[in-house]
Amino acid sequence: MSELGRSNRKGALAAIVAALLLAGGVQAQAAPMDDMPGMSGKAGAEGAKQQTASATGTVAAVNASQHKVTFDHEPIPAINWPAMHMEFPAAQSVDLSKVKPGEKVKFTLSGSKGSYTVQSIAPAQ
């Protein structure tokens, strides 16, 4: 009898913990949408829809071994981004050996939500 009572209590506790975890999970998923208000409308029911955007900025760093590039980029209205300093993975077609820190460039991005890949980099005029 006492054995049964203990296992029932355990079960109830597990259900409460599961409910709390679930509530936390829902909140965590909702948060990125607040950061990117421009995306929620366009993505619609399709969810993580691919978007492309072009931007200008200054090359801050090139990570050849990981094929990544860091920009101090200007605002990107197409994806609702303010000016930022950030690192992006670059597509394999992008030749990072031609990209030098301090260079002012135009670049294009494609991706969805907070995850974008650089598709091209060209010198800015």
- Taking the least distance from each CB to Cu ion, the nearer of 33 and 35 is 35
User: Which residue is at the shortest CB distance from Cu ion?
Assistant: 84
Q: Binding segment for Cu ion among 19-27, 48-56, 80-88, 101-109 (CB under 5 A)?
A: 80-88
- Taking the least distance from each CB to Cu ion, the nearer of 16 and 84 is 84
Residues in region 83-112 near Cu ion by CB under 5 A: 84, 86
Q: Binding segment for Cu ion among 8-16, 25-33, 81-89, 116-124 (CB under 5 A)?
A: 81-89
Cα–Cα distance between 111 and 57 in angstroms, integer? 18
- Taking the least distance from each CB to Cu ion, the nearer of 3 and 114 is 114
Which residues form the interface with Cu ion (CB under 5 A)? 81, 84, 86
